[in-house]
Amino acid sequence: MKQQLKISTGQYSYKGRKTTNQDFHGIVIPHEPQLSSKGIAIALADGISSSNIGHIASESAVSGFLEDYYCTSDAWSVKKSALRVLDATNSWLYSQTQRGQGRYDKDKGCVCTLSTLVIKSTTAHLFHIGDTRIYRLNGNKLEQLTTDHRIIISEEENYLSRALGINSQLDIDYKNLQIESGDVFLLATDGVYESVEEQVIINSIKECKTLDTAAQHITEEAYKNGSKDNLTVQIIRIEELPNQNIGDIYLNASELPLPPLLDARMHFDGYNIIREIHGSSRSHVYLASDGETNEQVVIKTPSIDLREDEAYLERFLMEEWIARRISSAHVLKPCQQSRKRNFVYTVTEYIEGQTLAQWMVDNPNPDLELVRDIIEQIAKGLRAFHRLEMLHQDIRPENIMIDTTGTVKIIDFGSTQVAGIAEIETPIQQFHIQGTAQYTAPEYFLGEMGTTRSDLFSLGIITYQMLSGKLPYGTQVARTRTKAAQRKLNYASVLDEKREIPAWIDDAISKSVHPDPHKRYQEITEFLFDLRQPNKAFLNKTRPPIIERNPVGFWKGTSLILAGIILFLLAKD
Residue 316's pLDDT is what? 87
What does the pLDDT read at residue 548? 58
Dihedrals φ, ψ of 455, to 5°? -65, -35
Mean pLDDT lowest among 350-359, 423-432, 497-506 = 423-432
Q: CB-side exposure of 42: number of CA atoms within 13 Å?
A: 24
Please report, for the chain, the start and end positions of each structural domain, with discontinuous segments joined by +. 6-188+232-248, 264-349, 353-541
User: What would the pLDDT profile of 359-401 be if each residue is shown by its tens digit?
Assistant: 999 999 999 999 999 999 999 999 999 998 899 999 999 999 9
Q: Which of 60-64, 123-127, 243-247 has the lowest mean pLDDT?
A: 243-247
Does residue 249 or residue 205 have the better pLDDT? 205
Does the structure show a pLDDT above 90 at 567? no
- C-alpha count within 13 angstroms, C-beta hemisphere, residue 430: 30
Share above pLDDT 70 across residues of the chain, in percent, rounded to a whole number: 91
Higher pLDDT, 253 or 392: 392
DSSP state of 257: P
Distance of CA 528 to the CA centre of its chain: 23
Instruction: Identify whether the C-beta of residue 386 lies closer than 8 Å to the C-beta of residue 418.
Output: no
CA–CA gap between residue 388 and residue 419 (Å, rounded)? 8
What DSSP string describes 271-320? EEEEEEEEE-SSEEEEEEEETTT--EEEEEEE-GGGTT-HHHHHHHHHHH
- Under 8 Å between Cβ of 18 and 38: no
CA dist., res. 456 & res. 195, Å (int): 53
Q: Where are the alpha helices (DSSP H) in 69-210?
A: 78-99, 190-193, 198-207
Asked if pLDDT for residue 308 goes beyond 90, the answer is: no
Mean pLDDT, range 30-58, rounded to an integer: 91
How far is Cα 272 from Cα 264, in angstroms, rounded to an integer?
A: 8
The C-alpha atoms of residue 509 and residue 500 are separated, in whole angstroms, by 15
pLDDT given for residue 33 in this prediction: 85
Tell me the average pLDDT across 61-73: 94
pLDDT of residue 463: 97
Higher pLDDT, 547 or 213: 213
pLDDT of residue 317: 84
When mean pLDDT is compared across 60-64, 161-165, 270-274, 335-339, the lowest value belongs to: 335-339
Q: Cα-Cα-Cα-Cα dihedral of 299, 304, 306, 308, to 10°?
A: 120
Instruction: Tell me what the mean pLDDT of segment 326-342 comes to.
Output: 89
pLDDT at 562: 82
How many whole angstroms separate alpha carbon 321 and alpha carbon 323? 5
Fold annotation for 264-349 = Phosphorylase Kinase; domain 1 (3.30.200)
Distance CA 32, CA 333 (A): 21
* Average pLDDT of span 63-72: 94
- Between 3-17, 83-97, 304-318, 500-514, the lowest mean confidence (pLDDT) is in 304-318
Question: Nearest 5°: CA angle at 262, between 317 and 250?
Answer: 50
State yes or no: pLDDT of 253 exceeds 60. Answer: no
Q: pLDDT category, 345, cuts 50, 70, 90? A: very high
- Report DSSP state, residue 333: P
pLDDT score of 214 more than 90: yes
Q: Do 264-349 and 353-541 fold alike per CATH?
A: no
Rg (CA), the chain: 29
**Which tens digit of pLDDT belongs to each residue from 420-479?**
775 433 444 444 433 478 899 999 999 898 999 999 999 999 999 999 999 999 988 888
pLDDT at 219 over 50: yes
- pLDDT at position 428, please? 44
Report which DSSP code applies to 334: B
Q: What percent of the chain shows pLDDT beyond 90? A: 65
Does pLDDT of 65 surpass 80?
Answer: yes
Least confident interval from 35-44, 313-322, 409-418, 562-571? 562-571
- Which pLDDT value is given to residue 573? 62
Looking at the predicted structure, is the pLDDT value of residue 315 above 70?
A: yes
pLDDT at 1: 54
Which is nearest to 265 in space by CA: 295, 289, 296? 289
What distances in angstroms separate CA 423 from CA 366, 385, 439, one per listed residue?
Answer: 39, 17, 22
**Confidence label for 51 from pLDDT (cuts 50, 70 and 90):** confident
**Count of all residues that appear for the chain in the document:** 573
DSSP label of 49: T
Q: CB-based contacts of 293: which residues, under 8 Å, 6+ apart?
A: none
AA letter at 368: L
Q: What is the pLDDT of residue 458?
A: 96
Q: What is the pLDDT of residue 281?
A: 78
Instruction: Give the tens place of pLDDT for each residue, 257-276.
Output: 889 899 999 999 999 999 99
Mean per-residue pLDDT of the chain: 88
Domain 6-188+232-248 falls under CATH 3.60.40.10 = yes
Largest CA distance in the chain: 118
Which has the closest alpha carbon to 264: 276, 252, 247, 250?
276
Range 353-541 has CATH code 1.10.510.10: yes
